[in-house]
């Protein structure tokens, strides 16, 4: 079975949907597909942190259209000021082993989008790390790990968050049709693309 990699930001709500749907499909099919979640720091890509108001509008569009079961307790007020420490914790978890890395990557997104926690808060990160037996790295180690993923993603032609790879084939935000004008977002589930992506990822 092919290994799936995804370059994504912890604070990207489209990634939260994409990963959750993929993991759910894997469980339904009793597949054993390994998942590597790599850092794609939008605050570095864009040269500034994400605007919490923008992410809140994206979350509202996803809730109302394709993911009413997700984003239970997302709060704009607790949106993290940076993703780098959370990326660092995920990288440290992958240093333990691949299943731990995947679990921590998912737990970080659940903390932000389902529990309304600030995943730039060291206490939140320490709590998640303790749950999985992972030590939170210092700022320099975290930034070095993020930079390695970021440079690899640029070399592989990552277009944005999330960008999945199944073998050598890339899929940028493969399951959603996203349209926005000014401050309004419309999001639709692309069911055909979802089936094709899951078929490739879980073959």
Cis, bond preceding 162 (omega within 30 deg of 0): yes
Q: What is the pLDDT of residues 21-58, one digit of tens each?
A: 999 999 999 998 999 999 999 999 999 999 999 999 99
* Per-residue pLDDT at 181: 66
Q: How many domains does the chain have?
A: 1
Full domain range(s) for residue 149: 4-201
Q: What is the pLDDT of residues 54-90, one digit of tens each?
A: 999 999 999 998 999 999 999 999 999 999 999 999 9
> Which helix (H) or strand (E) covers residue 106, if one does?
helix 98-113
- Report the DSSP beta bridge partners of residue 35: 4
**Which CATH number belongs to the domain containing residue 50 in this structure?**
3.40.30.10
* Residue pointed to by tokens 């108001």: 53
């Amino acid at each position: 079975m092919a290994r799936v990699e995804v370059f994504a930001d912890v604070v990207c709500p489209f990634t939260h949907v994409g990963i959750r749907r993929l993991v759910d499909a894997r469980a339904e099919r009793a597949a054993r597909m390994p998942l590597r979640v790599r850092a794609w720091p939008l605050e570095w890509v864009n040269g500034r942190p994400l605007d919490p108001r923008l992410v809140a509008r994206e979350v509202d569009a996803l809730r109302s259209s394709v993911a009413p079961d997700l984003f239970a307790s997302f709060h704009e007020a607790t949106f993290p000021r940076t993703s780098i420490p959370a990326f660092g914790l995920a990288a440290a978890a992958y240093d333990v082993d691949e299943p731990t890395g995947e679990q921590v990557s998912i737990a970080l997104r659940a903390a932000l989008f389902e529990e309304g926690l600030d995943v730039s808060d060291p206490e939140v990160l320490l709590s998640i790390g303790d749950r999985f037996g992972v030590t939170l790295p210092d700022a320099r180690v975290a930034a070095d790990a993020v930079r390695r993923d970021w440079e690899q993603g640029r070399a592989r032609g990552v277009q944005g968050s999330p960008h999945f790879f199944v073998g050598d084939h890339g899929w940028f935000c493969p399951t959603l049709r996203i349209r926005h004008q000014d401050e309004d977002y419309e999001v639709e589930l692309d069911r055909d693309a979802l089936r094709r992506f899951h078929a490739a990822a879980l073959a």
